[in-house]
Amino acid sequence: MSENNNSGGEKIIVVKNLVKTFKDFRAVDDISFEVEAGKIFGFLGPNGAGKTTTIKMLTTTLAPTSGAVLLDGHDPRRSPLAARRSFGIVFQDPSLDSELTARENMKLHAVLYGVPWSGQSARIEAALQFVGLWDRRDSRTKTFSGGMKRRLEIARSLLHTPRILFLDEPTLGLDPQTRNHIWEYIQTLARERKMTVFFTTHYMDEADRVADEIAIIDRGKIVASGTPAELKRNANAGTLEEAFIALTGHAIREEEASAKDRMRDMGRIWGRR
Partner 1 sequence: MSIIYILWLRQLKRYSRSRARIFASLAQPLLFLFAMGFGFGPTFAKAGGGSYIQFLAPGIIAMAIMFNAVFSGVEIIWDRQFGFLKGTLVAPVPRLQIVLGRTLGGATVAMMQGAIVFLVCLLAGFRVQNLALVPVAAVFMFLIAVLFAAVGATVGSLIEDMQAFPLIMNFLIMPMFFFSSALFPMKNLNGILTALLRINPLTYGVDGLRGAFTQAFEFGAVLDFTLLAIAAAVLLAVGSYFFSKIEV
User: Considering beta carbons, is residue 100 or 246 the nearer one to partner 1?
Assistant: 100
Stretch that binds partner 1, among 24-32, 34-42, 186-194, 257-265 (CB under 8 A): 257-265
Number of residues that bind partner 1 (CB under 8 A): 37
Q: Could you tell me if 99 and 142 are in contact, meaning their C-beta atoms sit under 8 angstroms apart?
A: yes
Q: Does 145 bind partner 1 (CB under 8 A)?
A: no
Residues 40-99 that bind partner 1 (CB under 8 A): 59-62, 80-82, 84-85, 89, 91, 93-99
- Cβ atoms of residues 228 and 208 within 8 Å: yes
Interface residue with partner 1 among 30, 75, 104, 125 (CB under 8 A) is 104
Helices (H), 113-239: 117-130, 146-157, 176-193, 204-210, 228-235
Q: Which is nearer to partner 1, 84 or 181 (CB)?
A: 84
Q: Establish if 23 lies at the interface with partner 1 (CB under 8 A).
A: no
For 185, phi then psi, to 5°, come to -55, -45
Beta bridge partners of 219: none
122, 251, 252, 259: which one binds partner 1 (CB under 8 A): 259
Q: Tell me, what amino acid is at 210?
A: V
Can you say whether the dihedral through the CA atoms of 113, 118, 119, 125 is positive or negative? positive
List C-alpha distances in Å: 11 to 32, 57, 71, 143, 165.
Answer: 13, 18, 9, 40, 15
Q: CA quadruple 229, 232, 238, 239: dihedral positive or negative?
A: negative
Interaction of residue 30 with partner 1, rule CB under 8 A? no
Nearest approach, Cβ of residue 105 and partner 1 (Å): 9
What minimum distance in Å lies between the beta carbon of 150 and partner 1?
12
Given the complex with partner 1, which of 91 and 134 has the nearer CB atom? 91
DSSP assignment of 231-260, as one string? Answer: HHHHHT-SSHHHHHHHHH-SPPPP-PPPHH
Single residue of 6, 7, 25, 117 touching partner 1 by CB under 8 A: 117
66-71/11-22 β-pairing: antiparallel
Instruction: Work out which of 14, 113, 187, 235 binds partner 1, going by CB under 8 A.
Output: 113
The reply to whether 269 sits near partner 1 by the rule CB under 8 A is no
Residue 242: partners with Cβ closer than 8 Å, 6 or more residues away: 232, 235
Nearest one of 211, 200, 207, 193 to 241, comparing CA atoms: 207
Residues 203-232 that bind partner 1 (CB under 8 A): none
Q: Which region, judged by CB under 8 A, interacts with partner 1, from 39-47, 208-216, 240-248, 259-267? A: 259-267
CB of 152 to partner 1, least distance (A): 12
Where along the sequence are the contacts to partner 1 (CB under 8 A)?
Answer: 59-62, 80-82, 84-85, 89, 91, 93-100, 104, 107-109, 111-114, 117, 259-260, 262-264, 266-267, 272-273
